[in-house]
Structure 1
């Protein structure tokens, strides 16, 4: 075979240390060498909020001395600002060396060293974990799980109350399980966004809608049932009837008593970002801060750390463009170190982007699901169209796992 001219260069995709070690071994590096060099091949950018200017100067000097970079407000140079945001840029090796030096520095930099390690560890964490769903369990990390949506409401945006009749709802739940749903998410109040000022559905009426269906499903299907509610009273009634998971669209921040209820029954919780209005100074920063607070509320109430799942809240407290920004930045949620549920199915973001009604948004919904999995930011996807989504998920998982 005739020798090819040139060196056949290419840029290699390196997402994490696993990819780095694989690439190093492929060029003939021995195992000790690949372990040593892999952290040099992985680059990360970290944004820090409200850093003391004196600490920022030290941080920048230390990062520069290790070959990395730190971008600060221009006012830090003459100390005309007391605080600054900071953008750190470096390899995992540089961060490791930086943290060792920060441990010896004042102005809160010792604590910052620990937080840098935590966020980097969270971001790259890939583990298989088991959710304890009372008498059932779910394994996260082996494949993407599919949650089927079951709305027993007369005014659902997506199906117009199609499953308000309990018998029809139960039949549909069975159908979704047969199609491959790993979880059924049962809701008695419309999943359209609810604002702080809007009169909510009473807990009594919500309970009246869901309990007859829930009691049948607990007996008849063999997958966990999640209850979509933000009300402590509804959550307790559902858990008493055998529900396995609580899915709160307000992230335990509308009715904080729900956190104690979930802790009492030791069930997994799904905490979603939500907001009344769409005004943001820093969309992703504020979204992550909200979810961090939700996690704190859960843990303070006694929810186990390994029973918490987070949801970026696509379609809630965000306009169309903001939803697309969150989708583009989904991987940033891995900084929190929790499994992620992605609920984009038939949302207005898709309808307004494609100019389609709710019942014609399948392809757009599948595109968002595939994107979320490819970003490594969807451990569970919440969907209306289970059969089609299961096929798309299995194909995407096969591709992602081959890397």
Structure 2
């Protein structure tokens, strides 16, 4: 009996699909037409008006896909419904084009769907200019080294509180492969005591001025206070890392816009109550993105952070970790910060000083999910783990075949 060597081929994006079809020897014109047919996507829309839901259902069925809606939509007993578009990339591309001519706000939906589908493809190599220093995105996962100049940080409080110790640690992290240094002068661990903007800047000023002249990598300032951010940027810092996503200090967005400084916007909230965990987090981050865009920042200048360890239970943190790839739908670089956090300690029942292996696991998972930057305390160990993961993940499947 003839056997055909049947096997499943993992195709996660158009690049992989095109390579797999090229390996078969398919006609180039056919490849362009067929590649999107092998990629399934589930696109969720929230609170869609009833009449729009009917149109989307009808259009997806006409294209050979489907749209899941609330069961009461068919009898018109709901005013709005969440919708799950189910189809191939090819079908969804056709949908995005078809609805451009439809009423009820579907033109904008068509544009947004096209943009989202593009964001799910592997990013191209490009340069992010950080006020005079460049970062190359898209080729490998970057490492951000954490430098806490606080007496009460959860992980290394007091170790680098003196300027000499802080400078030595910064230089050590750069030697170990840090692409960015993230400097924080106020602990943000649960139960921390807030410090005034004056005290925070008093801690930051000498180290920012010293490192801006001594290290070659961009300096990121971990602060949610606009006054501190402005002074740090004026003193030579390059990036602002706001744990409240520009939404706590109303002047922060204006500061990053004034200095054209790349900004990291992190999800955060008081308490751990959510309507839909991922939906609520993404909504918060979209609001942060809009605040940054209103001040003139665009594209890679806005970096999103899911906020592991902030406003989330251990179970919620683990769910976010399992769905990291969904943050690519925002269309901006993604930063992941899990280093030594309580999610690891509670899952493995380990003290903070014993969480390296757990951190390395989350870093590698971040690479597989397509994040752009990993924020860590242990630079050398994480750099090696990430470099190995990059060698596997970023070497696209299908590149090694006869005739390539």
Fold-level similarity (TM above 0.5) = yes
Match of 1:107 in 2: 104
CA contact (8 A) 2:300 2:333 kept: no
Match of 1:87 among 77, 84, 87: 84
Equivalent residue, structure 1, for 2:400? none
338, 346, 352: which one pairs with 1:352?
346
Residue 43 of structure 1: how far off its partner (Å): 1.1
Aligned mates of 1:267, 1:105 — CA distance in 2 = 39
Among candidates 355, 358, 375, match of residue 369 of structure 2 = 375
CA 159–37 in structure 1, closer or farther in 2 if over 3 Å, else same: same
SS at match of 2:120: helix
Matched, 1:239 2:233: yes
Which among 282, 292, 298 is matched to residue 276 of structure 2?
Answer: 282
Kindly indicate whether the alpha-carbon contact (under 8 Å) linking 1:266 and 1:304 is maintained by their aligned counterparts in 2.
no
Structure 2 residue matching 1:149: 3-state secondary structure: strand
Q: Which runs of 4+ in 1 moved over 4 A?
A: none
Query: C-alpha distance in 2, partners of 1:47/1:85?
Result: 7
Note the residue ranges of structure 1 that are not aligned, 5 or more in a row.
none
SS across alignment from 1:103: helix
1:57 maps to 54
Give, in angstroms, the shift of residue 103 of structure 1: 2.2
SS in 1 for 2:48: strand
User: Deviation of residue 96 (structure 1)?
Assistant: 2.0
In the alignment, which of 10, 35, 41 is matched to residue 13 of structure 1?
Answer: 10
Partner of 1:149: 146
Equivalent pairs, count: 396
1:397 matches 2:390: yes
The equivalent residue for 1:342 is 336
Aligned to 1:84, the other structure's residue is in SS state strand
Quick one: distance in 2 between partners of 1:200 and 1:160?
Answer: 15
Q: What is the aligned counterpart of 1:183 among 171, 177, 180?
A: 180
| Per-residue Cα deviation, 1:78-118 (whole angstroms, up to 9, x for no partner) | 11110000000001111122223222322222221112112
8 A Cα contact 1:143 1:379, kept in partner: yes
Report how far residue 193 of structure 1 moved.
Answer: 4.2
Q: CA RMSD in A?
A: 1.4
Structure 2 unaligned segments of length 5 or more: list them. Answer: 398-404
- State whether structure 2 residue 120 is matched by structure 1 residue 123: yes
Q: Does 1:301 align with 2:275?
A: no
TM-score normalised by structure 1 residue count: 0.96
Give how far 1:389 is off.
0.6
Match of 2:266 among 269, 272, 280: 272
1:310–1:79: structure 2 CA closer, same or farther, 3 Å change rule? Answer: same
SS at match of 1:77: helix
Give the deviation of 1:25 after TM superposition: 1.2
Q: 1:108 to 1:19 in 2, by over 3 A?
A: same
Secondary structure of 1:124's aligned partner: coil
Identify the residue that residue 139 of structure 1 maps to in structure 2.
136
Among 308, 311, 318, the alignment partner of 2:312 is: 318
| Aligned-pair CA distance for 1:125 | 5.0
Q: Deviations over 1:136-165 (max 9, x none)?
A: 111111111100000000000011321112
Q: Of the candidates 69, 73, 78, which is equivalent to residue 70 of structure 2?
A: 73
Helix, strand or coil at the partner of 1:230: coil
Counterpart for residue 401 of structure 2 = none
- Say which is worse superposed, 301-310 or 203-212, in terms of deviation: 301-310
